[in-house]
Amino acid sequence: MLEATARLDRPRALDRRLSVAPMMQRTDRHFRRFMRRLTRCTLLYTEMIPLGAILHGPRERRLRLEPAEQPVALQVGGSDPAGLSTAAKLAERYGYREINLNCGCPSNAVQDGGFGVVLMRTPARTAECVRAMVENTDLPVTVKARIGLDTDRSEAFLDDFVGAAADAGCRSFIIHARSAWLTGLNPQQNRTIPPLDYARVRRLARSHADLDIVVNGGIQSLSEVTGFLAEGFSGVMVGRAAWDHPWLFAEADQRVFGAHAPPLTREEALRAHAPYIARALADGEPFHRLARPLAGLYRRQPGARRWRRALAEHQSLHDALGSMAVA
């Protein structure tokens, strides 16, 4: 049975000025709930969910969404237009605000499945996938891709890919400002070794001024975010920095979205999050999974190592906070 959130009213347009990238084994519902203690306005994404898991797996566990997480976009990995059409309708029914097609993941498993970044080699197939989703949902259908592949990093390669998806109905693109090197690099290396080329994303945005272009890759601070927005990008997506240093988002609502309410302190955010942790523990979730999104909260602060140790040694947020207070 679908959650009660499935029929939530959705805004006609999403504010894409700041978002957190979909990250495997990172951006699950526990991460999203904690991020909502720090920022109400930032657009959050699920992990990439393979199409087969949506169509044939434990759908309720995979797609369940709570109102407190919103706004959230669903990212799906797949290349079957009919299956993606069904996934788009399910995304709408479960209350997501957007469905995003992954055309950027370079992992071997994804390549073997014929989706992710290898879709950039077949713009016509990507267009079929986009069109199938657009025709079956009122949600925005977006694409996340890279600036190129090791086999083709030409200007025309990215322009042709974006143009085909745009003709099929996609109006928003998230572009990781690195090529994917499918030979010789693993997924982790593909996030760091191929050089960043923000200028290429700028040129894409200028040549497709009718589209929303969101820049992604290597962004580490809100100052960088506001700088890219000042250049005219529709939005900025932050990836690993959001996981490693979530406190970066404590002032996001004020600095990026113009909110007036003061941000919480770290301690206030943790105490506000404690009831969620307690409920999840009562539902059988292990504390180590619930604590993972909290580990980087004190990054670059005195006591950061002590905080990580407290999370590792205790089985409740209350006890971890208590050990910090008396240490």
Give the Cα separation of 211 and 70 in Å (integer).
24
Cα dist from 86 to 3, 81, 89, 123, whole Å: 18, 9, 5, 21
pLDDT in tens, 243-263: 999 999 999 999 999 999 999
> Which positions are catalytic?
105
3-state secondary structure of 54: helix
Regarding pTM above 0.85, the answer is yes
Q: Which CATH class is domain 266-326?
A: mainly alpha
Residues linked to residue 19 through DSSP beta bridges, in sequence order = 43, 237
Quick: pLDDT tens for 141-161. Answer: 999 999 999 878 889 999 999
- Within 230-292, strands assigned E span 235-238
- At 109 the pLDDT is 85
With a cut of 70, which residues of the chain have pLDDT below it?
A: 1-12, 325-327
Nearest to 140 by CA among 104, 102, 175, 171: 171
What are the sequence ranges of the domains in the chain?
A: 4-255, 266-326
**Do residues 18 and 235 lie in contact, with contact meaning Cβ atoms separated by under 8 Å?**
yes
Q: 4-255 architecture in CATH? A: Alpha-Beta Barrel (3.20)
Residue 63 half-sphere exposure toward CB, CA atoms < 13 A: 31
Instruction: Determine contact, residues 51/80, Cβ cutoff 8 Å.
Output: yes
